[in-house]
Amino acid sequence: MSAPPQPSRALAAADALAGRLSATRTEPAANPQLEALALAVTANQPVLLWGEPGIGKSAGMRQLATALGVPLETVIASVHEPSDFAGLPIVGEDPATTGVPMAPPDWAVRLARTGHGLLFFDELSSAPPAVQAALLRVVLERRVGSLELPPSVRIVAAANPPASAADGWHLSPPLANRFVHLDWTHSPRTVARGMAGTWPEVAIPAVDPAKASGAAARARGAVSGFLTARPGLVHHMPADAAGRGRGWPSPRTWEMALRLLATGYAASTGREALAAALTGAVGEAAGIELLSYLEHLDLPDPDRVLADPDAFALPERGDRQLAFLIAVVAAVQSELTRPRWEAGWAVLAKAVDAGVPDVAARAAADLAAMRDLDWPVPAGIDAFVELLQLSGSLPGGG
């Protein structure tokens, strides 16, 4: 049997030259676009990158996967059928007894076997509505056929604007509402530097475990306080198809914003990147209002407040008072002990002293519901007893 033909020396030299051009390096550089993407991926929220063809979305995914130290699985959504995501039926010996399992594709099996990874759906806006519908379950339930993807698998998609996509479609509102939408661009200076062999480095947000509890409580207080003040923004689907195909406020996307905000607080994420991620989740209009609210909120760390409640003064503005008290109660709930529970009542008592017990009413009901029956009723609860009894949160004579 003859040996396979070998490439000519000219081709080998050309391949070696291509290898030299492929060798690049990265450098630390301020890039809010990359930082917002890394924040959303770290928070394990599905991300959708919008950008013109050839802008470098796929290259960004390879760079991100390398920085995370995880395998990258790329799936071109536009060339797949709905069954590729819903699974193909495999009939066994006794389907009436065992049912008919839906066989997953190979990329899903590899991710399940590895236990982690970055799943990248490319050309999402070129996928027809039937394929987009099949992708809903993958993004929301993390199921591909009969296989459930591990929780640590991150999902990122990319799309071209419908006007520049091949056979482009607007995303269906149910699918669009499951993503954090980020615009993907490159500055000419970044591209020119990249052609010289140096690209920006992807800085993965480092969540500080010591800040996690306080960050979660601050985020809960901020988002809950904002939606209490602006109830009309809890759910607002745009009227036009283009708007419905991007980010817009709904209970689902506010949950995404909560996770992004908590992760951003715990990782000390830059202001610009955090703003891009939040507006990408709930839409530009609601996001701008939220950012303005956060800018003037300036909540203290609730864990520090609980450690020494006498050292902190209640904010003067009503919306800040509500957010502050919600954050304190959330911090107590995240690590419930009798000293922290009693410190929570000491904080709520300041609302009574400030003449605004109504602001603390909901927080008081939540705090009362956490009480261990062996714990004595603290003195700070006296001002709320009547209200709590009427609401059923405190038994009569309790």
Residue scoring higher pLDDT (87 or 238): 238
How are beta strands 180-183 and 47-50 bridged, if at all? parallel
Q: What pLDDT digit, counting tens, does each position of 157-174 carry?
A: 998 886 655 556 778 899
Question: Residues 6 or more apart from 56 whose CB is under 8 A from it?
Answer: 184, 186
Is pLDDT larger for residue 268 or for residue 84?
Answer: 268
pLDDT, tens only, 31-83: 888 899 999 999 999 999 998 888 888 888 888 898 899 999 999 988 888 88
Query: Beta strand pairing status for 102-103 and 88-89?
Result: antiparallel
Question: Which pLDDT does position 380 carry in this prediction?
Answer: 63
pLDDT greater than 70 at residue 90: yes
- The token pair that represents 313 in the structure block: 């003064």
Residue 388 pLDDT > 90: no
- Three-class SS state of 382: helix
User: Which one-letter DSSP state was computed for residue 311?
Assistant: G
pLDDT tens per residue across span 299-328: 888 999 999 988 888 888 878 888 999 999
- Residue 202, CA distances (Å) to 51, 72, 198, 344 in order: 18, 15, 12, 40
pLDDT in tens, 1-23: 666 777 788 888 998 999 998 88
Distance between start and end Cα atoms, the chain = 93
The 10 Å Cβ neighbour count of residue 163 is 9
| pLDDT-derived band at 92, boundaries 50, 70, 90 | low
Amino acid at 162: P
Q: At what angle do helices 271-282 and 284-295 cross, to 10 degrees?
A: 140
Between CA 101 and CA 104 the distance in angstroms is 9
Identify the helix (H) or strand (E) that includes residue 140: helix 129-141
Class of residue 194 by CB neighbours under 10 A (exposed 0-12, middle 13-18, buried 19+):
middle
E runs forming strands in the chain = 25-27, 47-50, 72-76, 88-89, 102-103, 117-122, 143-144, 147-148, 153-159, 180-183, 198-200
Q: Quick one: pLDDT at residue 273?
A: 95
State yes or no: pLDDT of 391 exceeds 70: no
Lowest-pLDDT range of 3-17, 108-122, 141-155, 272-286: 3-17
Mean pLDDT throughout 356-364?
A: 79
Per-residue confidence (pLDDT) for residue 241, from 0 to 100: 85
Contacts (Cβ under 8 Å, ≥6 apart) of 101: 87, 89, 90, 92, 145, 146
**386, pLDDT greater than 80:** no
Q: Give the pLDDT confidence score for residue 397 in this predicted structure.
A: 45
Q: What is the mean pLDDT of the chain?
A: 86
pLDDT of residue 121: 93
User: Which burial class, exposed, middle or buried, applies to 201 when counting CB atoms under 10 A from its CB (0-12, 13-18, 19+)?
Assistant: middle
Q: Is the dihedral of CA 357, 362, 363, 369 positive or negative?
A: positive
Q: Checking DSSP bridges between strand 102-103 and strand 117-122, what pairing results, if any?
A: unpaired
